[in-house]
Amino acid sequence: MLQNIRVVLVNTSHPGNIGGAARAMKNMGLSRLVLVEPRIFPSHEADARASGATDILENAQVVATLEEALAGCTLVFGTSARDRRIPWPLLDPRESGLKVVEEAGQGAQIALVFGREDSGLTNDELQRCHFHVHIPSDPEFSSLNLATAVQVLTYEVRMSWLAAEGRPSKVEKDEVASPRSDELATMDELERFYEHLQQTLVAIDFLDPEKPRHLMARLRRLYGRSSVSRAEMNILRGILTETQKAARGELIKRKNEDV
């Protein structure tokens, strides 16, 4: 599906930006780069900025006109640093990412078109696009570096593609995720923990049974919010046991000193 999506760079001046765009694309799993009349290409600078993405540069198609770059496409997105140059269906990168993936999934050939560093895309070029995409940057400083703009759009394509494929966008370690319901401490285990906690707090003189000041209720509320797993409960119980031992040792020491 991702191979149905091409990135088109129009009249790029700085070869470094071509390399940066190639790298951005490869990071996001895209591979088809089309260059319309690049000022300097190929070049060492492009290779250097591409890092390991030189295969994308090697396979890049160089053409003379935007028309050639868009041959076979059924859906074209044109990017613009200024919003609303001409009234046109306008999307933000997230919306365009969703649309790109939806249509590419149905076999559409899609182009994401990026303009010149100094002057962007011409009105004529923008009018060849079905949608305009504007990255909602600060209007006072709206123009992103070309390769950075490619990164933003291709990132949104990737996020939307991952979601469509049902692939996770992150792999959370089990310990960080909430425990599964069958791993949670049960009510009776919690009850025994609260008893143990209370005994320990009394033993270390933190809780005065004569003046409990809702301490246990507050602690219950705290642990109740925490979805404590059985394994975590065992750690807490272990800490309480050791605390009790240490408190007993301290008591014996004090008694001996009294003698």
Interface positions with ligand SAH (CB under 6 A): 79-82, 114-115, 117, 119-121, 133-135, 137, 142-144, 146, 149
Chain residue whose CB lies nearest ligand SAH = 120
Using the minimum distance from each CB to ligand SAH, give the nearer residue, 24 or 135: 135
Contact 91, 132 (CB under 8 A): yes
The least CB distance from residue 89 to ligand SAH, in Å, is 15
Nearest approach in angstroms of CB 3 to ligand SAH is 22
Closer residue to ligand SAH, CB minimum distance, 50 or 135:
135
Count other Cβ atoms within 10 Å, centred on residue 122.
15
Q: How far is the CB of 158 from ligand SAH (least distance, A)?
A: 17
Q: Which residues of 94-104 are buried (b: 16+ CB within 10 A; e: fewer)?
A: bebbbbbbebb
**Shortest approach of ligand SAH to residue 84 CB, angstroms?**
12
- Residue closer to ligand SAH, measured from CB, 11 or 200: 11
Q: Which is nearer to ligand SAH, 88 or 194 (CB)?
A: 88
